[in-house]
Structure 1
Amino acid sequence: MPIATRAFAATDSSSPLTPYSFDRRDPGPDDVAVAIKFAGVCHSDVHIVKNDLGNTRYPIVPGHEIAGVVTAVGENVTRFKIGDRVGVGCMVDSCRTCVSCREGEEQYCVPGMTQTYGSADPKGAAVGQTITQGGYSDAIVVDQNYVLSIPDALPLDAAAPLLCAGITTYSPLRHWKVGPGSKVAVVGLGGLGHMAVKQAVAMGAEVTVLSTSDRKKADAERMGAAHFLINSDKDAMKAAAEKFDLIINTVSATHEIAGHLQLLARDGTMVMLGLTTEGLPVFAMPLLWRRRSVAGSLIGGIRETQEMLDFCAEHGIASDIEVIAPDQINEAYARLEKSDVRYRFVIDISQMGKAA
């Protein structure tokens, strides 16, 4: 039978998120049904709710950092059983046949991955769903191939943000082969940045945090950063020239990046992770003179996401979180836009009934 689901949804680009009820599909042979316990709040949720990209379809239930417990499995499911601790990240399906999918890089699916919320949802047609709906809800049904196992060493609440923030930073650190001896700079100590610091330190890198002020310096040092650099300090920036092999830029607002290129060593790369909606000028000369690169990275594939969860469990890494009730989500959005969180909001879905 369809699963009656309680949620918080946006009904347009300017109104607050409000309680919303809908049906999840009956689990099919390959599906896993999950009782959601916690859902992280990502800055991209705010972008989608506010229709900053111009393609949001309403009503929309955001949330792609999902941690919960299996409540039912289909007859073909072999990887999970009832009671397992599981996670769902930014995607719930892909074409499975393109080169990217066959190589385990489903996030770069050529026709396009099926995102956890806001994508066309043919599987939901039987219960009247035209688009996928996300984790600000108390249940979800997902194909077993897109479900992750959360190790027992990770608390479910602090594990939830790993499903987006954690893998978004882990994937480029692995792709650019960060390890002992690497010098990594992280621009912005927020939801993504604090995960990048913790992971890069665990990989053996010497990590520097770049920020606009020193108010998070103590936090950066607690997380293992060796250095803290204020990017408006021209002398300090000059002294750090050509120091870094990799810069992980996590800032999701429009900001100046051309000056940061001088911090890269020869063959160094700045990887852009923040979802900015305006262009960021870059000049050719700093790139040409040291064969530097500016690159982008999305999330990771399912295989790499599971690797990340296991790595975080092994090294005792989890997100720094502030747990909120579902009816605090609008306040959290307002605070998130002011960078007033250290470092990830997580919704306690067990309180959904009280709010909705």
Structure 2
Amino acid sequence: MTSTLALSAAHPGAPFTTVTIERRDLRPDDVLIDVKYAGICHSDIHQVNEDWGPAIFPMVPGHEITGLVVAVGDAVTTFTVGDRVGVGCYVDSCGSCESCVRGEEQMCLNTPVATYNGREYDGTPTYGGYSRSIVVKEHFVVSIPDSMDLAAAAPLLCAGMTVYSPLARFGAADKNIAIIGMGGLGHVAVKIAHAMGATVTVLSQSLSKQDDGIAFGADQYYATNDPETFKKLALSFDFVLNTVSADLPLDDYLGTLKIDGAFINVGFPAEPYRFHAASIVMHQRSIVGSNVGGLAATQQMLDFCAWHNIAAEIELIGVDEITEAYEKVAASTVRYRAVIDIANTLVA
């Protein structure tokens, strides 16, 4: 076992404290990573506050991780010491079920192992990237292209993959699409959709981020608090990608879809959606969900973003700023993703 510093919450809602945790010794197929940066995902806040049900404490969050390889197991062939790498939402899966075989480890039928607030198959709790080092099975490590800044790349491991997956699956190229929200996920979605060749409209509560949205590649930007917006956009879009976790008037958004259009959801609203069946039946519309992608797709996303010079817009913070950062993320005032400088600020 190897000792490493980490930021840990002792119980639901507890402040973070610096502790020492143990990482396992390298197995033949393991990679030891010196963590440089860890993104703050809104799900980190939900997990620490135990909003989604019973969680495992003490908790070390973080599933948007970038760093450098410092050691590899004897059987590792993909990575060598010094490589720039990343780790996302999962660190293991069964490898043999239908989902794993087709490269969708995130939907492992035998339950994938979450990077934190999860358990290894032997029952050991997992601790995430708010730590100086992490040991991960080779298959669940991805390469960060040399052209990408490690800090700005970190949010792509969750936020980037969360939006890239449906944009690729539904074929954004040459489509007229809308993106709901211009936050941590939405701003990356605008960049990726634009690079894929879509005509992109942002639907946001107000026009406060309009200039940013246009700069990121949006063709149009509408405020949903304007009652005329949904009238103007009726029957406009091939699909709508919802990146927010708010309770939405779903019938209004469904009305912006063309015949056979799809409302794609990646957010987790607190309350169940409510809508009238006519909103989907009369125009053969669909409401679908989308998960993050598997490891091959995650590498594809990173390579695509590197090729098109896409990265998250970040606020780089130190470990002493996490409480404030959590408040900003919860209030949707961070522009646009908070990233912890682990290497330089998590020190004894």
TM over 0.5: yes
Aligned equivalents of 2:115, 2:14: Cα separation in 1: 22
Of 154, 165, 172 in structure 2, the residue corresponding to residue 160 of structure 1 is 154
Aligned equivalents of 2:143, 2:346: Cα separation in 1: 26
Q: How does 1:1-356 map to 2 (within 5 A)?
A: 2-122=1-121, 130-179=124-173, 181-354=174-347, 356=348
Q: Is the 8 A contact 1:64 1:116 kept in 2?
A: yes
Aligned equivalents of 1:9, 1:306: Cα separation in 2: 29
TM-score, with normalisation over the residues of structure 2?
A: 0.98
Query: Following TM superposition, by how much is the alpha carbon of 1:18 offset from its aligned partner in structure 2, in angstroms?
Result: 1.7
What letter corresponds to residue 166 of structure 2 in structure 1? P
RMSD, aligned CA: 1.1
Q: Is the 8 A contact 2:6 2:346 kept in 1?
A: no
Aligned residues: 348
Q: Is the 8 A contact 1:71 1:83 kept in 2?
A: yes
Q: Is the 8 A contact 2:319 2:346 kept in 1?
A: no
Q: Is the 8 A contact 2:63 2:87 kept in 1?
A: yes
User: Cα deviation per residue 1:152-191 (whole Å; 9 max; x = unaligned)?
Assistant: 0110000000000000000000111111x20110101000
Q: Is the 8 A contact 2:319 2:345 kept in 1?
A: yes
Which runs of 5 or more structure 2 residues have no equivalent in the other structure?
none
Aligned equivalents of 1:21, 1:345: Cα separation in 2: 24
Query: Following TM superposition, by how much is the alpha carbon of 1:351 offset from its aligned partner in structure 2, in angstroms?
Result: 2.8
Question: Is the partner of 1:308 in helix, strand or coil?
Answer: helix
Aligned equivalents of 2:146, 2:183: Cα separation in 1: 26
Query: Following TM superposition, by how much is the alpha carbon of 1:122 offset from its aligned partner in structure 2, in angstroms?
Result: 4.5
Query: Following TM superposition, by how much is the alpha carbon of 1:253 offset from its aligned partner in structure 2, in angstroms?
Result: 2.9
Question: Is the partner of 1:270 in helix, strand or coil?
Answer: strand
User: Cα deviation per residue 1:247-278 (whole Å; 9 max; x = unaligned)?
Assistant: 11011233332210000111111111112232
Q: Is the 8 A contact 1:7 1:352 kept in 2?
A: no
User: Cα deviation per residue 1:200-238 (whole Å; 9 max; x = unaligned)?
Assistant: 000000000000111000000000100001112222211
Question: Deviating runs (4+, > 3 A) in structure 1?
Answer: none
Identity over aligned pairs, percent: 48
Once the two structures are overlaid, the 10-residue window that deviates more, 94-103 or 267-276, is: 267-276
Aligned equivalents of 1:134, 1:257: Cα separation in 2: 35
TM-score, with normalisation over the residues of structure 1?
A: 0.96
Question: Is the partner of 1:234 in helix, strand or coil?
Answer: coil
Q: Is the 8 A contact 2:148 2:311 kept in 1?
A: yes
User: Cα deviation per residue 1:94-139 (whole Å; 9 max; x = unaligned)?
Assistant: 111111100001111112110100111246x7xxxx3100001110
Question: Is the partner of 2:282 in helix, strand or coil?
Answer: helix
Query: Following TM superposition, by how much is the alpha carbon of 1:353 offset from its aligned partner in structure 2, in angstroms?
Result: 3.8
Distance change >3 Å, CA 299–CA 290, structure 1 → 2: same
Aligned equivalents of 2:290, 2:48: Cα separation in 1: 22
Aligned equivalents of 1:320, 1:208: Cα separation in 2: 19
Once the two structures are overlaid, the 10-residue window that deviates more, 315-324 or 272-281, is: 272-281
User: Cα deviation per residue 1:26-56 (whole Å; 9 max; x = unaligned)?
Assistant: 1110000000000000000000000001121
Which runs of 5 or more structure 1 residues have no equivalent in the other structure?
none
Aligned equivalents of 1:336, 1:253: Cα separation in 2: 14
Aligned equivalents of 2:140, 2:270: Cα separation in 1: 28
Aligned equivalents of 2:11, 2:86: Cα separation in 1: 28
Q: Is the 8 A contact 1:53 1:277 kept in 2?
A: no
Q: Is the 8 A contact 1:138 1:352 kept in 2?
A: no
Q: Is the 8 A contact 2:181 2:243 kept in 1?
A: yes
Once the two structures are overlaid, the 10-residue window that deviates more, 169-178 or 253-262, is: 253-262
Once the two structures are overlaid, the 10-residue window that deviates more, 268-277 or 191-200, is: 268-277
